[in-house]
């Protein structure tokens, strides 16, 4: 699999990442092991998890598989901290919480360092400088090799990355930002992606298949066993089951038919090769599903197909993003 630099750093990662959101919940230890082996054998290296995935079970499962199944040196392990199961405070970016969470992650992962440590979300109740100091301490102590952020808006990303760059060698450059990005969710193109590209921060798209909708499996109804039919995940899928999304799904299906490919391959290739994107993160539930995901490596979309998909999925970006000077 092709390898790409993560932002403006020397770290190289596979251009498809393995997400573990469902490990310990939808994916048991046997499927997790099979998936990791398939991913590694295909040349995949970037594995993304978080301390809250499966209440820590995703990190634990990954830790059990590393070395015994896949050499640690062959993986780029990324995890996140900052989300908390508190109805009054969803995110905690305080230095104390983040560093304690990192130590707990390392214990579950069975390693003394992670390759990429990410702040899971912006915490408006904590000074940003304090949150960023936790990243600096994690890297300077050797517990993390690189640092990134997740779910930061454009201005939040720009402020964080600029603060880190202003410190020169005493602060850790942000390597990445993780955000949802697909043909059904192009909001990052408004401010996040331009800021990331300007500041040398690589984008790691989550939900690159539009929460599964772009595969086309919901075109004829609600499949049994799908996320959309799940009591816990139905609300996650529902926003992408409207008429506008259906038009995009139909366009992806038409493109796939013309290329003798699958809708999954077309949708994933589109986001994988967008400017500024480093590696879409795909959370396949089974090793069989992951094998189909990895087959996208041989597909590159023709320019005319990309343009057609761009047009049918184009978000409305007007003032102040464009044409403001003529108003």
What are the φ and ψ backbone dihedral angles of 61, each rounded to 5 degrees? -60, -45
87: number of Cβ within 10 Å = 6
The CA-based diameter of the chain, rounded to the nearest angstrom, is: 63
The token pair that represents 135 in the structure block = 């990243």
CB 228 within 8 A of CB 218: yes
CB 240 within 8 A of CB 247: no
Distance in angstroms (rounded) separating the CA atoms of residues 298 and 300: 7
Question: In 3-state terms, what secondary structure has residue 114?
Answer: strand
Question: In 3-state terms, what secondary structure has residue 157?
Answer: helix
Residue 282, beta-bridge partner list: 18
Q: Which of 108, 110, 38 is nearest to 72 (CA)?
A: 110
CB proximity list for 307: less than 8 A, separation 6 or greater = none
Catalytic residue among 53, 60, 218, 240: 53
* Antiparallel, parallel or unpaired: β 3-5 and 12-14: antiparallel
* Antiparallel, parallel or unpaired: β 3-5 and 46-48: unpaired
Q: Among this protein's residues, is 53 annotated catalytic? A: yes
CB 3 within 8 A of CB 15: yes
CB 276 within 8 A of CB 193: yes
Distance in angstroms (rounded) separating the CA atoms of residues 44 and 76: 9
Distance in angstroms (rounded) separating the CA atoms of residues 319 and 95: 37
The token pair that represents 260 in the structure block = 């003798």
Q: Please give the positions annotated as active site.
A: 53
């Amino acid at each position: 699999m092709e390898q790409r630099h993560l932002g403006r750093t020397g770290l190289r990662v596979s251009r498809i990442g393995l997400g573990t959101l469902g490990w310990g919940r939808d994916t048991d230890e046997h499927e997790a092991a099979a998936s990791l082996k398939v991913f590694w054998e295909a040349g995949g290296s970037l594995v993304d998890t978080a301390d809250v995935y499966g209440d820590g079970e995703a990190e634990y499962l990954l830790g059990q598989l590393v070395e015994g199944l896949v050499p640690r040196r062959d993986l780029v392990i990324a995890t996140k901290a900052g989300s908390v199961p508190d109805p009054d405070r969803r995110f905690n970016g305080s230095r104390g919480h983040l560093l304690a969470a990192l130590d707990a992650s390392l214990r579950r992962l069975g390693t003394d360092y992670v390759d990429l440590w990410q702040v899971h979300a912006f915490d408006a109740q904590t000074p940003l400088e304090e949150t960023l100091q936790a990243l600096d301490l994690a890297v300077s102590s050797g517990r993390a090799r690189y640092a990134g952020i997740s779910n930061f808006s454009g201005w939040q990303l720009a402020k964080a990355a600029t603060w880190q760059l202003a410190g020169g060698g005493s602060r850790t450059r942000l390597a990445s930002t993780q955000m949802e990005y697909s043909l059904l969710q192009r909001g990052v193109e408004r401010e996040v992606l331009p800021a990331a590209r300007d500041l040398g921060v690589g984008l790691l798209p989550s939900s690159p298949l539009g929460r599964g909708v772009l595969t086309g499996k919901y075109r004829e109804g609600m499949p049994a066993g799908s996320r959309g039919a799940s009591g816990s995940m139905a609300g996650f899928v529902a926003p992408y089951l409207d008429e506008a999304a259906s038009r995009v799904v139909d366009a992806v299906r038409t493109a796939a038919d013309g290329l003798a490919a699958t809708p999954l391959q077309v949708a994933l290739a589109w986001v994988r090769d967008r400017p500024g994107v480093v590696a879409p993160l795909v959370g396949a539930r089974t090793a069989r599903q992951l094998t189909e995901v990895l087959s996208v490596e041989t597909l590159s979309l023709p320019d005319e197909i990309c343009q057609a998909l761009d047009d049918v999925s184009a978000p409305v970006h007007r003032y102040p993003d464009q044409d403001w000077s003529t108003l």
